[in-house]
Structure 1
Amino acid sequence: MSAPLPAPTGQPHYTVVRGLRTHAWVRGDGPPLVIVPGLGCASWMYVRLARELSRTRRVYVYDPPGHGDSEGTPEYPRTIRDLTDHLAAWLEASGLRCAPLLGHSLGGEVIFDLAARYPSCTTALIAVAPTGIPENPNVPAQLFRLARDLPRERLGLLAPGLRAYGRAGPVRMLRLATDQRRHNTGPLLSRVRVPTLLIDGDRDPVIRAWTVREIRREIPESVVRVVPGGTHAVTDTFPKTIAASALEFLKWVEGPAASPIGEFEQSSCEIRSN
């Protein structure tokens, strides 16, 4: 089967995956990079980050099934594994196998799962404020933490966020949030064998710093960057900072002679918030 034609830049890109019309917004030119949104989030919530990344990359902001402008069904997706399996099929159908992935919040957990279960689907991971083992709080605790985080976020994200959550719907979001307690990524993290950048905001009440440190301990080739003042939606509040760190990391990963991850950590400059 011939490879799909490259998606035109600056417009929506639709691919039928497992019978569902799946959307991604495409922006920029250069090597591909795929953004995977968090729970209930949609492609339009990552416009500021995509704009920065697209200066040197062709950025695909993917909408998971039932999120954003992608089709879902009342019964699908039910689990995080459903999200992972769909993402793997979409990458293959879109000609993006081996592309690096940037996942935010639950999107980080999804890309960990994908790298462990579909090791040929990506070459690098960037997980921003990622959920996942060893911390899977119950749903009331997650809602409490999100309520604490909301006043810290940029006011301009409120309307796009409410639109995205309305599109995903409370039933789907509750079902996926509940599945986090059953989705045991603990054994999977040690099977992630690609270079991984973990980005943590030091004002994020949703994802605790010790959680990110534990994820780093489990993933062999991983490094942590902390964004001063970063909230849970740090992709929106500090898009230039996240983009600069991500692009620096990818430049190292894709260089002609990449050194061990520890050397990247030692050679990188401290993150400064934009």
Structure 2
Amino acid sequence: MEGLRTRAWVRGAGPPLVLVPGLGCASWMYVRVCRELARTRTVYAYDPPGHGFSQGRPGYPRTIEDLTDHLAAWLEASGLRGAPLLGHSLGGEVIFDLAARFPGSTTALIACAPTGIPENPHVSRQLLRLARDLPRERPQLLLPGVAAYLRSGPALMYRLAENQSHHQTGPLLPHVRVPTLLLDGTRDPVIQAWTVDALCRVIPHAIVAEIPGGTHAVTDTFPKAVARYTLDFLQAVEH
């Protein structure tokens, strides 16, 4: 898309579900949750431009809107328009933006530890929160995570993190008109519980589920719980 090679890791069989990663993350960081979800769905672990196996270009993507526009075009080109989306961290903000700006592009959202309201702190504070979170994650995630961050590079990650403070998500959230599940890990120092509650109040018909002990990388630390909540939610809204 946009003249760039775009990759998605595909696993399982059944109705489609697209996974949208967090800032600097890559499809290979979501193997554990994809394995659980793939028991009943065909999971597409999508790599945004400049992430994972997908190409980027100098200075692109520059904004959250760039990520959203690319995802919308990729869904259309891949025949996945209307598929439910599972977004993690910044991926949650991207799928909110997509549902509001591109009606019909998805039928349901699942956002794990999502960003998406103007309280997103300055980059330095975000890094401090991530530093607090790292000791809580599985050590086995360290190498895949470092590989993903090196692949994306500090310039891309800084641009997108800095853009979060300017991204006007607030006015868009009331226009998210599809069923939405927000997953909140109770041990996540990056996304505060009140942030998830604030999102729930603004997005029509959104619901929150807490995952006790869940860290910021809740898709990795509690993949069975994330998959259970996701699959139960989709079964309820699709039937």
- Matched with 2:230 is 246
SS in 1 for 2:175: coil
> Is it true that 1:176 corresponds to 2:160 in the alignment?
yes
Is 1:135 the counterpart of 2:119 in the alignment? yes
Residue 145 of structure 2 corresponds to 161
TM-score, normalised by the number of residues in structure 1: 0.87
Distance (whole Å) between structure 2 residues aligned to residue 117 and residue 236 of structure 1: 29
Instruction: Output one character per residue of 1:212-235: Cα deviation in whole Å (capped at 9) or x when no partner.
Output: 000000001100000000000000
Q: Where do 1:77-226 residues align within 5 Å? A: 77-226=61-210
Structure 1 match to 2:3: 19
Name the counterpart of 1:30: 14
Structure 1 residue 132, shift from structure 2 partner: 1.1
Distance 1:119 1:163 in 2: 35
Cα deviation, 1:190-219, whole Å, max 9, x if unaligned, reads 000000000000000000000000000000
Q: Distance in 2 between matches of 1:76 and 1:188?
A: 23
The amino acid across from 2:7 in the alignment is H
TM (normalized to structure 2)?
0.99
Query: Does structure 1 retain, via aligned residues, the 8 Å contact 2:118–2:165?
Result: no
Q: Which residue number corresponds to residue 23 of structure 2?
A: 39
SS of equivalent to 1:30: coil
Name segments (4+ residues, structure 1) moved above 6 Å: none
What is the CA–CA distance in structure 2 between the aligned matches of 1:119 and 1:225, rounded to whole Å?
25
Question: Quick one: distance in 2 between partners of 1:249 and 1:135?
Answer: 28
* Structure 1: segments with no counterpart, 5+ residues: 1-16, 256-274
1:134: how far off?
A: 3.6
Q: Which residue does the alignment assign to 1:59?
A: 43
**Deviations, residues 26-66 of structure 1 (Å, cap 9, x unaligned):** 00000000000000000000000000000000000000000
What is the alpha-carbon distance in structure 2 between the residues aligned to residue 71 and residue 98 of structure 1?
24
Is the 1:38–1:104 contact (alpha carbons within 8 Å) kept by the matching residues of 2?
yes
Unaligned runs of 5+ in 2: none
2:32 matched residue in structure 1: 48
> Partners of 1:118 and 1:52 in 2: how far apart?
29
The 1:82/1:224 distance shift into structure 2, 3 A limit, reads same
Deviation at 1:68, TM superposition (A): 0.1
Is the Cα contact below 8 Å between 1:134 and 1:211 reproduced in 2?
no
Larger Rg: 1
1:258 match: none
Match of 2:53 in 1: 69
Root-mean-square deviation (CA, aligned residues, Å) is: 0.4
Deviation at 1:75, TM superposition (A): 1.5
Shift of residue 135, structure 1, vs aligned partner? 1.9
Residue pair 1:134, 1:214 contacting (<8 A) in 2 also: no
Which one-letter code corresponds to 1:132 in the other structure? Answer: G
Q: C-alpha distance in 1, partners of 2:119/2:141?
A: 26
Aligned residues: percent identity? 73
- Give the corresponding residue for 1:270: none
